[in-house]
Structure 1
């Protein structure tokens, strides 16, 4: 049985169009790369292209869960001063290609996450639903974010890291997203 086709207009259409555009910019940076290139560190930074996509996907997944579940959806402790050595290593691995990670598997996972987020944006009863933010040094104490604000954060995160990814790709082989 086929799912009903939704017509998305107005604010939701604008949010989705912006998010999809920045996702395309991000994914363009890994077009035609090998796993070795995607895992490489072509600058003085520890960042790699595969790890950036993995991080953006996990961040998007977490914020989409926040929209539905509230702060528990983000999971974990947000105060780095309280992180164990294992938690710090796990966080670092979220920005790297490790173990069985391949560029293909990371991109496929990211595309599944993106499809779920798009479906959520299309189907939410209201963009005004809000939840308190978890306690973290970078969040104002007692602040709440609406679904709209969380979606805008996903867009900002994707755009910021697409810029980082563009710089890494240029360092690998001179390719650019634009220009």
Structure 2
């Protein structure tokens, strides 16, 4: 694998390839972390790697439901719950949720022949401008790429604050790159080793 998205042949493959790439970069920030580390906010804010992956999974699942015109699930009273691992939640669990959301999106998009297909905007949601009535599937995919990239950037900074790990060494370690350009990340030795 590589640290950049592979070549693409057309618009659909470009959108899906870049979405997959940004998902991968977000997920690699969790490589080698414990549940406690995935709950760590390493800056003045409350964002954590586990929480960002959980949010990305739920965000993607929500957009896929909109494309399919399915009803949205009830939102938690405390919206910040989506950005942190709650008691009983694990990093493995949110990574699985993220993979499941990605697989569903990929299957749904593969079945839609026209990226211009209209996706109605839900009414009464504070983050949707009142004048927006619909988006296209194309717009939804671009938005998902934006979401994964934004939160991947957040997660990069959080991870560096936890143990100094950065993207390319994490990718080299997680994907076992042959002849990596970067020394693959390794966990720090335990105290006393």
Question: Could you tell me which residue of structure 1 aligns to residue 106 of structure 2?
Answer: 118
Measure, in 2, the Cα distance between the counterparts of 1:111 and 1:137.
28
Which secondary structure does the structure 2 equivalent of 1:131 belong to?
Answer: strand
Question: Could you tell me which residue of structure 1 aligns to residue 179 of structure 2?
Answer: none
Question: Could you tell me which residue of structure 2 aligns to residue 60 of structure 1?
Answer: 60
Q: Which has the higher helix share?
A: 1
Measure, in 1, the Cα distance between the counterparts of 2:93 and 2:74.
24
Q: Is the 8 A contact 2:61 2:101 kept in 1?
A: yes
Unaligned runs of 5+ residues in structure 1 are 1-7, 78-85
Q: Is the 8 A contact 1:62 1:73 kept in 2?
A: no
Measure, in 2, the Cα distance between the counterparts of 1:132 and 1:112.
24
Measure, in 1, the Cα distance between the counterparts of 2:71 and 2:131.
17
Q: Is the 8 A contact 2:119 2:136 kept in 1?
A: yes
Deviation at 1:178, TM superposition (A): 3.9
TM-score relative to the length of structure 1:
0.82
CA separation of 1:149 and 1:73: change in aligned 2, threshold 3 A? farther
Deviation at 1:92, TM superposition (A): 1.1
Which secondary structure does the structure 2 equivalent of 1:145 belong to?
Answer: strand
What does residue range 70-109 of structure 1 map to in structure 2 within 5 Å? 73-74=71-72, 87=77, 89=78, 91-109=79-97
| Alignment partner of 1:129 out of 117, 135, 155 | 117
TM-score relative to the length of structure 2:
0.77
Question: Could you tell me which residue of structure 2 aligns to residue 162 of structure 1?
Answer: 152
Which secondary structure does the structure 2 equivalent of 1:98 belong to?
Answer: coil
Larger deviation: 126-135 or 40-49?
126-135
Measure, in 1, the Cα distance between the counterparts of 2:74 and 2:138.
23
Which secondary structure does the structure 1 equivalent of 2:64 belong to?
Answer: helix
Question: Could you tell me which residue of structure 2 aligns to residue 176 of structure 1?
Answer: 166
RMSD: 1.9
Moved over 6 A (4+): none
Unaligned runs of 5+ residues in structure 2 are 1-7, 170-193
Q: Select the structure with the greater relative contact order (CA < 8 A; seq sep ≥ 6).
A: 1
What does residue range 32-51 of structure 1 map to in structure 2 within 5 Å? 32-51=32-51
- Give the number of aligned pairs: 160
Question: Could you tell me which residue of structure 1 aligns to residue 130 of structure 2?
Answer: 141
